[in-house]
Copies of this chain bind each other. A is one copy, B any other.
């Protein structure tokens, strides 16, 4: 029994949905299908979800919504017509849009309900199309599937009771087509997951039905050892562990939203990343345990947008609580930190830039000055973080050497090294303008 999740590009057009149909038809084990909202058909196109967000904003501002509804329906109509499925599905979609617009929900509740229509419609269309292909498919609403979530609009967390209900879905003969991205609170209110939500739904369903495999169909053949925008035709990763995937995703790898794997991870369901456009390619398997035959380092991930808050004070190490108080000031200002390397008389805190407004920064600096009385305080923008990822690297001799040699050969000075907590990765901080150079040098070192 397999759960197959199809991303936005896989359901962006009738042509793509036909590929989905043939993938489903090819393997009778694919009993659960989870779909995203239709994505971009071409560069410059707009995703359905973004149109729905625009619709929500118009409604919020009490502006005319009809032209936006028309624009959205036009996309769905095209798909439905080209797939030659029953047009009743279009009525159903349009009814959902209008009833949501006219509901007495407000604010984030309404936003969630409108945003979810992309996935919901996609599931309705795909199930209808599968029927035309002679498959016993049916649309299953997440509430009927049993996806019960916390009441956190836009940031739903699955509740444990979901899994029992989902497990009963194993009994069904038909192929269940479930929209991704949302579930229902106990109150019955529709709530969306955070970004990457369809992956989360797929992962929850796979865990719930105890699938043998969770297939995640995207538009790439596999995960690559490094960002293909930086290295042309990089090596493919055939197998990696959950932990490796999580570390890679965290640092801007982008194939998966990094938390999407949690339910599958906890249920020990293997995951396969595959390509809707090239389903015969074997893809990338994500498993629990490292295969001892595979090499130690599986990938290099990187991200920009970090700042370094640096504080120094002579005899800092004699002041019990200094580090804790520094982190508490940040916490009270609503800023989370990534890493906090410390010296004897100094401490750095690596923060994601997007958490800092000019006002917050000023608050933080003033509070640190007055509460901690440091000698030096500075915020340095323009950091990039690079992660070299591989389970077992902690016990492997020479990984740190190989990595640092790559930086040295590219003549890049390393501003920060963070190794010691994660058993799966070592992290380097450098100036962001050197990032591509560093990635290339690391790639040459580990994969060429």
Q: Are A419 and B327 in contact (CB under 8 A)?
A: no
Interface centre among A308, A317, A345, A414 (most CB of B within 10 A): A414
Give the residue of B323, B338, B405, B429 whose beta carbon is less than 8 angstroms from that of A405: B405
A379-429 contacts to B, CB under 8 A, are 394-398, 400-401, 403-405, 407-408, 411-422, 424-426, 429
Q: How many A residues face the partner with a CB closer than 8 A?
A: 64
* Chain B residues in 8 Å Cβ range of A422: 343-346
* Chain B residues in 8 Å Cβ range of A324: 324, 327-328, 331
Given contacts A327-B324, A397-B412, contact A420 B420 (CB under 8 A): no
Q: Are B340 and A323 in contact (CB under 8 A)?
A: yes
Decide yes or no whether A310 CB sits under 8 A from chain B. yes
List residues of chain A with CB under 8 Å of any chain B CB: 246-247, 250, 258-259, 262, 265-266, 308, 310, 314-315, 317-318, 320-321, 323-324, 327-328, 331, 334, 336-348, 350, 394-398, 400-401, 403-405, 407-408, 411-422, 424-426, 429
A344 to B250, CA, bound (A): 8
Describe A's contact surface by its main secondary structure.
mixed
Across the A-B interface, give the 5 residue pairs with the lowest CB-CB distance, nearest first: A343-B422, A416-B420, A341-B420, A324-B327, A401-B404
Residue of B with least CB distance to A330: B324
* Chain B residues in 8 Å Cβ range of A396: 413
A395 to B337, CA, bound (A): 24
Given contacts A342-B340, A344-B246, A344-B250, contact A397 B411 (CB under 8 A): yes
A344 to B423, CA, bound (A): 11
Q: Are B421 and A341 in contact (CB under 8 A)?
A: yes
Q: Are A415 and B404 in contact (CB under 8 A)?
A: no
Q: Are B394 and A425 in contact (CB under 8 A)?
A: no
Given contacts A317-B336, A340-B342, A343-B424, contact A404 B412 (CB under 8 A): no
Q: Are A246 and B341 in contact (CB under 8 A)?
A: no
Give the residue of B334, B339, B408 whose beta carbon is less than 8 angstroms from that of A341: B339
Residue of B with least CB distance to A414: B400
- 22 examples of A-B residue contacts, CB within 8 angstroms: A246-B345, A259-B318, A265-B314, A317-B336, A320-B336, A324-B328, A340-B340, A341-B419, A345-B422, A347-B421, A348-B421, A397-B408, A398-B408, A400-B417, A401-B404, A401-B407, A414-B419, A415-B420, A417-B419, A417-B426, A418-B420, A420-B429
